[in-house]
């Protein structure tokens, strides 16, 4: 199974800081993204920052990622630890390699220990972990026993919920929103990486998860005709059952 870490591309470290100039008085929030090409494709952190701006938040985002990386790789290389240490991040978004959560062996031996370790470092620095529950591949992944999208997504969701319940982390249920948004063309032609629309959906789910607010109410279309529908789906998936995803709902008079 270790060969799966190479499926998503060359191992090239990406460290990108994006600071958006927002209106005076916006509430500040800083988010570190740790993952691989699912996070860097179409600049998910930047799209999230733009949505945050539309919601009145002054956001700073940073990403530590390279193609095909497992969270275990981030632990072994120390890249995420270095970024977290003293970084004054409010949240760290942890995105596991796309196949690992679907493998009962790899989730227990690699994913769960890495989340425990990175979550522990985050806790030490007052940073809250957010688990990025990813989407299944369009056609499943027969090499690990999934011949279609649905059973693979169920396995991925189960894995993230299991470790989130153990460590008490928030979950951004992108894959669950993905499952009911297939008609919007969320994949690239490889059936794995997100299209710009898929990244917009992921950013909308992250907005709802981190802020506990409905992104459907934002004025931010990003050139997508279906943008409001996508944001509404994201908000509904997260906010219809916030306890399931460990998402606290803030007061409405911020």
CATH number for the domain spanning 117: value is 3.40.50.1110
Say what the pLDDT of residue 87 is: 80
CB 141 within 8 A of CB 152: yes
Q: Is residue 92 part of a domain?
A: yes
Q: Is residue 248 part of a domain?
A: no
| Distance from C-alpha of 109 to C-alpha of 140, rounded to nearest angstrom | 22
Say what the pLDDT of residue 132 is: 99
Q: Is residue 123 part of a domain?
A: yes
Q: Is residue 193 part of a domain?
A: yes
The contacts of residue 182 (CB under 8 Å, 6+ apart) are: none
Q: Which domain holds residue 66?
A: 2-239
Rounded to two decimals, the pTM is 0.89
Question: What does DSSP say about strands 170-172 and 91-94: parallel, antiparallel, or unpaired?
Answer: unpaired
Is the pLDDT at 23 greater than 90? The verdict is: no
- Angle at CA 101, nearest 5°, toward 196 and 181? 35
Is the pLDDT at 248 greater than 80? The verdict is: yes
Q: Is residue 69 part of a domain?
A: yes
Provide mean pLDDT across the span 114-119: 97
Is the pLDDT at 13 greater than 50? The verdict is: no
| Distance from C-alpha of 227 to C-alpha of 207, rounded to nearest angstrom | 14
| Distance from C-alpha of 221 to C-alpha of 229, rounded to nearest angstrom | 10
| Distance from C-alpha of 194 to C-alpha of 3, rounded to nearest angstrom | 22
The total number of structural domains that make up the chain: 1
CA 37 to mean position of chain CA atoms: 11
Q: Is residue 49 part of a domain?
A: yes
Q: Beta strands of 36-188 (E only): which ranges?
A: 57-65, 91-94, 128-132, 170-172
């Amino acid at each position: 199974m270790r060969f799966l870490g190479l499926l998503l591309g060359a191992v090239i470290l990406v460290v990108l800081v994006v600071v958006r100039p927002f209106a005076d008085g916006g509430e500040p929030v800083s988010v570190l993204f740790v993952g691989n090409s699912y996070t860097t494709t179409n600049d998910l952190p930047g799209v999230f920052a733009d949505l945050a701006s539309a919601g009145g938040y002054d956001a700073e985002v940073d990403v530590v990622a390279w193609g095909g990386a497992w969270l275990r790789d981030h632990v072994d290389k120390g890249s995420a630890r270095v970024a977290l240490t003293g970084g004054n991040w409010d949240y760290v978004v942890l995105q596991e390699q796309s196949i690992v959560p679907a493998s009962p062996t790899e989730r227990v031996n690699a994913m769960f220990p890495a989340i425990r370790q990175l979550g522990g470092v985050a806790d030490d620095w007052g940073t809250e972990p957010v688990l990025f529950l990813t989407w299944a591949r369009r056609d499943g992944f027969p090499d690990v026993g999934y011949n279609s999208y649905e059973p693979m997504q169920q396995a991925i969701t189960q894995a993230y919920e299991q470790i989130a319940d153990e460590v008490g982390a928030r979950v951004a249920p992108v894959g669950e929103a993905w499952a009911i948004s297939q008609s919007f063309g969320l994949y690239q032609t490889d059936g794995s990486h997100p299209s710009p629309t898929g990244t917009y959906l992921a950013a909308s789910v992250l907005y709802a998860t981190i802020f506990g607010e409905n992104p459907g109410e934002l004025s931010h279309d990003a050139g997508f005709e279906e943008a409001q529908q996508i944001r509404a789906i994201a908000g509904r998936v997260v906010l219809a059952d916030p306890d399931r995803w460990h998402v606290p709902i803030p007061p409405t008079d911020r």
